[in-house]
């Protein structure tokens, strides 16, 4: 019942104080995530590619950046950019943009590692074959290695995007009015129905994350990343557990079919 | 055309190429054979600089490989290479595998590149498979497409790195036939292979290597029938499954019977 009553607040959950104030709620989560994904996609790909560079003055700064960001909690990055961006750019940086910047940098470091893993997962022979036909390293990457690596990166990208979307909720700590913050505001207005507010938040996150992974799975299927057929339960029963396809286990016909026919006896 | 001048290479502490001196002229077919780990593939891969040498010099078609000013892409465009595991691009069809390099490196347009690719596919007998992906081809077919792919760049030199050793025995001949016809057209070829029959048929010279050294160079009969070096003798006898001729053993057998 309490949960149904929360429908009265649905506008606030979805849009925050939008008509009167800035846009917020679940919409803001999505906007934050999309901006972070978009910018980190480009930035992360560049970082990941440069990390594999032969030039040490490109390689080592990238490694340093990636490792520092990856070994720092997101919440610290958010605080860091919240307090330091105004310090460098004057007081004009809003909390929204400091949230976008910190999320993008966080995401870029992780994406760089996904890109690197994807490139390295392509067999070395592919690069060698491309190079031996006279392609430059850049062309070999662009036309041969990356198209194959991208297929392998796709599942990791999807799971990272989903977790990045959930991570946008951490930005409530610097006062971004996204879904978590709206939930907290509502729960404080009605302290006796706190659980309902938190439950609504969870539903909001779940809906977006689930539909995103569902879409992604469809995309994976279309691009043909993995042979999904061979992971069906029926396939497992037949090929992987080596049970007879027809008839009961232990039936004579099956048994004889499985036996290796006896060859002629060897004579000394 | 290709000249090795005391080329040396180390992998960490292993001396994989020891003072290689070899000169290969235009139109020659060279077969390199020897036990595994002898450095045959490494020697082959130094020619198009997929491996670097640490000491010495290699001159390919007038280009000095140790010179940093040498244009690597121009060098490699002149040298075709065929790999043991084919290394076809799995995300492209047979015809696109072949046209990719001519289009991106030589700047041919799609129509011209496709025309050239179809000619090459005809040569290797696979026109009907033009739109097949590598996974839909047998090993022999894949290797023939790979040969066509290297030929599409109209190279002056072809390198073959054990082109038949990943194939089923009955598929080997279709690949060897293509290589034989290529040799007859006067292509400069360097082939690492264990196919003695192929070597006897088309090789101008056979190079026998062991432990990073070139032990013997000679015509196929010289190396296969009358090897001079004891290591070559023992290798050849094990390849041909003939026990080493040993006079003492024979005398013992005679006396016992």
CA distance B91 to chain A (A): 7
The closest CB to that of A135, out of B80, B91, B105, belongs to B105
The sign of the torsion formed by the CA atoms of B50, B51, B54, B60 equals negative
Strand, helix or coil for residue A23: coil
Q: Which one has a higher pLDDT value, B71 or B241?
A: B71
The verdict on residue A217 lying in a domain is: yes
The verdict on residue A15 lying in a domain is: no
Question: How many separate domains does chain A show?
Answer: 1
CA distance B153 to chain A (A): 7
Taking each continuous run of H as one helix and of E as one strand, the counts in chain A are 13, 0
Structure tokens at A126: 């592919």
What is the CB-side half-sphere exposure of residue B246 using CA atoms within 13 A?
A: 9
- Give the nearest chain A residue to B101 (CA atoms): A133
> Which range marks the domain in which residue A171 is found?
25-258
Q: Do A133 and B83 touch (CB under 8 A)?
A: no
Q: Do A144 and B153 touch (CB under 8 A)?
A: no
Q: Do B73 and A134 touch (CB under 8 A)?
A: yes
Is A133 in contact with B82 (CB distance < 8 Å)?
A: no
Structure tokens at A110: 């992780």
The verdict on residue A164 lying in a domain is: yes
The verdict on residue A131 lying in a domain is: yes
Residue ranges in chain A modelled with pLDDT below 70: 1, 91-92, 224-268
Mutate to test the interface with A, among B46, B52, B73, B102 (most CBs of A within 10 A): B73
Strand, helix or coil for residue B184: helix
0.90 surpassed by pTM: no
What pLDDT is recorded for position B67? Answer: 86
Mutate to test the interface with B, among A132, A141, A142 (most CBs of B within 10 A): A132
Is A66 in contact with A109 (CB distance < 8 Å)?
A: yes
Judging contacts by C-beta atoms under 8 Å, the chain B residues touching residue A54 are none
Burial string for A74-86 (b: 16+ CB within 10 Å, else e) reads: beebbeebbeebe
Q: Do B83 and A135 touch (CB under 8 A)?
A: no
The verdict on residue A3 lying in a domain is: no
Which residue has 């760089």 as its token pair?
A: A112
Q: Do B89 and A135 touch (CB under 8 A)?
A: no
Rounded-to-integer distance, Cα A68 and Cα A61, Å:
11
The radius of gyration computed from the CA coordinates of chain B, to the nearest angstrom, equals: 20
Judging contacts by C-beta atoms under 8 Å, the chain B residues touching residue A128 are 50, 83, 87
Q: Do B85 and A125 touch (CB under 8 A)?
A: yes
Structure tokens at B36: 């595994």
Q: Does B80 touch chain A (CB under 8 A)?
A: yes
Dmax (CA) of chain B = 77
CA distances (Å), B221 to each of A207, B204, B217, in order?
76, 10, 11
Q: Do A129 and B74 touch (CB under 8 A)?
A: no
Average predicted confidence (pLDDT) for chain B: 88
Mutate to test the interface with B, among A133, A138, A142, A227 (most CBs of B within 10 A): A133
Strand, helix or coil for residue B2: strand
Say which DSSP state A260 is in.
Answer: P
Judging contacts by C-beta atoms under 8 Å, the chain B residues touching residue A125 are 83, 85, 87
The closest CB to that of B83, out of A129, A135, A143, belongs to A129
What pLDDT is recorded for position A158? Answer: 87
pLDDT band at B147; cut points 50, 70, 90: very high
Q: Do B89 and A148 touch (CB under 8 A)?
A: yes
CA distance B205 to chain A (A): 25
Assign 3-class secondary structure to A139-205.
Answer: HHHHHHHHHHHHHHHHHHHHHHHHHHHHHHHHHHHHCCCEHHHHHHHHHHHCHHHHHHHHHHHHHHH
The verdict on residue A9 lying in a domain is: no
Section B20-37 average pLDDT = 91
Q: Does B150 touch chain A (CB under 8 A)?
A: yes
- Give the nearest chain B residue to A149 (CA atoms): B91
- Give the nearest chain A residue to B88 (CA atoms): A126
Q: Does B151 touch chain A (CB under 8 A)?
A: no
Q: Do B50 and A134 touch (CB under 8 A)?
A: no
CA distance A110 to chain B (A): 26
- Give the nearest chain A residue to B74 (CA atoms): A134
Taking each continuous run of H as one helix and of E as one strand, the counts in chain B are 10, 10
Q: Does B154 touch chain A (CB under 8 A)?
A: no
CA distances (Å), A233 to each of A136, A225, B228, in order?
45, 19, 63
Residues of A with CB under 8 A from a CB of B: 123, 125-126, 128-136, 139, 143-144, 147-148, 151
Among B157, B198, B155, B142, CA closest to B60: B157
The verdict on residue A175 lying in a domain is: yes
Judging contacts by C-beta atoms under 8 Å, the chain B residues touching residue A132 are 48, 50, 76, 79-81, 150
Structure tokens at B134: 């590598």
The per-residue DSSP string of B84-144 comes to: TT----TTS-HHHHHHHHHHHTS---HHHHHHHHHHHHHHTT-GGGTT--GGGS-HHHHHH
Rounded-to-integer distance, Cα B121 and Cα B113, Å:
12
Residue B195 predicted with pLDDT over 80: yes
Strand, helix or coil for residue B71: coil
- Give the nearest chain A residue to B84 (CA atoms): A125
Judging contacts by C-beta atoms under 8 Å, the chain B residues touching residue A123 are 87
Is B84 in contact with A114 (CB distance < 8 Å)?
A: no
Structure tokens at A72: 């720092």
Is B147 in contact with B178 (CB distance < 8 Å)?
A: yes
CATH code, A128: 1.10.3720.10
Structure tokens at B41: 């593939």
Section B238-250 average pLDDT = 60
Question: What is this model's ipTM?
Answer: 0.85
């Amino acid at each position: 019942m309490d949960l149904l009553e929360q429908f009265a607040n649905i506008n606030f959950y979805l849009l925050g104080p939008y008509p009167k104030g800035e846009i917020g709620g679940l919409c803001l989560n999505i906007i934050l995530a999309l901006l972070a994904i978009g910018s980190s996609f480009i930035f992360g790909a560049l970082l990941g590619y440069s990390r594999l560079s032969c030039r040490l003055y490109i390689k080592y700064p990238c490694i340093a950046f990636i490792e520092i960001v990856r070994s720092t909690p997101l919440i610290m990055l958010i605080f860091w950019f919240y307090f330091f961006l105004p310090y460098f750019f004057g007081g004009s940086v809003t909390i929204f943009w400091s949230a976008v910047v910190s999320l993008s940098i966080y995401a870029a470091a992780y994406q760089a590692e996904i890109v690197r893993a994807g490139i390295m997962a392509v067999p070395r022979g592919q690069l060698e074959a491309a190079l031996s036909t006279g392609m430059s390293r850049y062309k070999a990457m662009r036309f041969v290695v990356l198209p194959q690596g991208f297929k392998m990166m796709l599942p990791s990208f999807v799971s990272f995007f989903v977790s990045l979307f959930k991570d946008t909720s951490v930005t409530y700590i610097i006062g971004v009015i996204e879904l978590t913050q709206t939930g907290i505001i509502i729960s404080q207005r009605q302290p006796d129905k706190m659980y309902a507010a938190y439950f609504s938040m969870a539903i909001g996150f779940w809906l977006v994350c689930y539909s995103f992974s569902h879409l992604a799975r469809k995309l994976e299927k279309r691009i043909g990343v993995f042979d999904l057929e061979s992971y069906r339960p029926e396939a497992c029963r037949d090929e992987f557990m080596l049970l007879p396809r027809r008839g009961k286990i232990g039936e004579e016909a099956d048994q004889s079919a499985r036996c290796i026919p006896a060859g002629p006896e060897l004579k000394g | 055309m290709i000249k090795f001048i005391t080329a040396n290479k180390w992998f960490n502490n292993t001396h994989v190429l020891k003072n290689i001196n070899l000169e290969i002229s235009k139109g020659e077919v060279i077969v390199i054979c020897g036990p595994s780990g002898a450095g045959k593939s490494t020697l082959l891969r130094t020619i198009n600089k997929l491996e670097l040498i640490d000491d010495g010099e290699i001159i390919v078609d007038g280009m000095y490989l140790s010179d940093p000013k040498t244009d690597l892409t121009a060098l490699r465009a002149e040298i075709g290479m065929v790999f043991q595991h084919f290394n076809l691009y799995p995300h492209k069809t047979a015809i696109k595998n072949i046209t990719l390099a001519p289009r991106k490196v030589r700047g041919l347009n799609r129509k011209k590149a496709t025309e050239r690719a179809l000619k090459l596919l005809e040569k290797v007998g696979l026109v009907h498979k033009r739109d097949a992906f590598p996974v839909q081809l047998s090993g022999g077919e894949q290797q023939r497409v790979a040969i066509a792919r290297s030929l599409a760049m109209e190279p002056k030199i072809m390198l073959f790195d054990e082109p038949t050793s990943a194939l089923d025995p009955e598929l080997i001949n279709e690949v060897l036939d293509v290589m034989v016809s290529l040799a007859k057209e006067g292509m400069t070829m360097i082939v690492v292979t264990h196919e003695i029959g192929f070597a006897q048929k088309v090789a101008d010279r056979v190079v026998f290597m062991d432990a990073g050294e070139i032990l013997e160079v000679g015509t196929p009969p010289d190396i296969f029938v009358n090897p001079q070096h004891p290591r070559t003798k023992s290798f050849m006898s094990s390849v041909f499954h003939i026990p080493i001729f040993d006079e003492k053993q024979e005398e013992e057998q005679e006396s016992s019977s």
